Amino acid sequence: MLASSMRIAFVHNNKAFLSETEAYQGFFSRYGIDTILVSKEQIKNTPCDLEWRYMGTDLSPRRRGVLKVHEYTSTSIPPWRKLKNLGKRWLNVEPDYRLFLNEYVQKSFGFDDDVPSGFRDMGIPDSWFNYAARPSTNEFDFVYLGDLSPVREPEKLLNCFASGSLKDHSILVIGKEYQLLQQKYQSSPNIRFMGPLPYEEVPSQLKRARFGINFMMDKEPLNQQTSTKFLEYLAVGLPVVSTHYDWVMRFEEEYGGSYCYIEQDLSDLTWERICSKVYAAPDLQSWTWEQQIRNSGVLDLIEDHWGGTFDNDLQF
């Protein structure tokens, strides 16, 4: 089979992994490889050469001639997270390759077979860095981007704007499934909800704010997983206010930058303190999607099976 006639089917677990999927589709399309996003139900009847699953569970039998990649973008969350991880380790079929967000996620599952594996952390599209030199409009004092599910306890942050230390300041909240929160804070006009947005529109919305807030609890597994919002704020040039927790401290140690760290209980989240800090951008050269995909090892699997090379001269 010619490599250019390949098709990769990305199988989502009833969720939309837009940033990852768009990055993969953009990367592989440059080499003439067809990609498609399908559900777990649709994949059964979808012709493809590589079945790439965002995990989840995968109990489906192997299809003749079809490679299988399992990608674990996170570990299970409470309650019973260790039991959930154990169940996935025992029940999931064996793929040809496993991708993990990082070493913490890999160790959480504890696979002890011979399946090769690699790491594919979160990334930033190259185009986002073009926004860094553009001034923010400062329509909002802060922006919060991302997950608003109860496990993230977003009320702790929003209460600061509703009746706490930042009640005289505004925040733009970009996410999805925020209807209950919007209803709860409807009497606070300084809290504005928006989304979900097409991925390409996110940078311009982030630039409406003066600061980006990375509110994360210092609890496993959340404190060990990459903060995509943190990276995205930095890519477009926003100064970042962040709670203290393991991942962000390790990031600063390795990649640099200067941020305003706040306590987990947000007791020191004040406008005066935030404005008094000196902010600096880190080195994000290795955090582009291009670099993350190339460093994942999964390209070797494809090259070994179909030939060709994923070099920068597009020789595939």
Amino acid in position 23: A
Q: Which two tokens stand for residue 154?
A: 């977003």
Closest CA to 247 of 127, 75, 89: 75
Amino acid in position 235: A
How remote is the C-alpha of 49 from its chain's centroid?
26
Contacting residues for 38 by C-beta, under 8 A, at least 6 apart: 9, 10, 11, 12, 46
Quickly count: other Cβ atoms within 10 Å of residue 113's Cβ.
8
The tokens 């709860």 sit on which residue? Answer: 184
pLDDT at 81: 74
Could you give the dihedral angle defined by the CA atoms of residues 130, 26, 10 and 311, in that order, rounded to the nearest 10 degrees?
Answer: -110
- Show the low-confidence residues of the chain (pLDDT under 50): 1-2
pLDDT at 202: 95
pLDDT at 132: 95
Beta pairing, strands 191-194 & 209-214:
unpaired
Three-state secondary-structure class, residue 274: helix
Q: CATH assignment of 3-123+288-306?
A: 3.40.50
> 3-class secondary structure for 225-268?
CCCHHHHHHHHCCCCEEEECCHHHHHHHHHHCCECEEECCCCCC
Three-state secondary-structure class, residue 144: strand
Distance (Å, rounded) from C-alpha 231 to C-alpha 140?
20
Q: Are 170 and 144 in contact (CB under 8 A)?
A: no
Amino acid in position 316: F
pLDDT at 313: 62
pLDDT at 2: 42
DSSP 28-78: HHTTT-EEEEEETTGGGG---SEEEEESS---PPPPTT-EEEEEESS---S
Distance (Å, rounded) from C-alpha 12 to C-alpha 9?
10
Model-level pTM? 0.91
Contacting residues for 199 by C-beta, under 8 A, at least 6 apart: 18, 19, 22
Q: CATH assignment of 126-283?
A: 3.40.50.2000
* CA angle, residues 120, 143, 125, in degrees to nearest 5: 30
238-265 pLDDT, tens digit each: 999 999 999 999 999 999 999 999 999 9
Distance (Å, rounded) from C-alpha 128 to C-alpha 212?
15
Distance (Å, rounded) from C-alpha 200 to C-alpha 203?
7
pLDDT at 5: 77
Domain segments of the chain as ranges: 3-123+288-306, 126-283
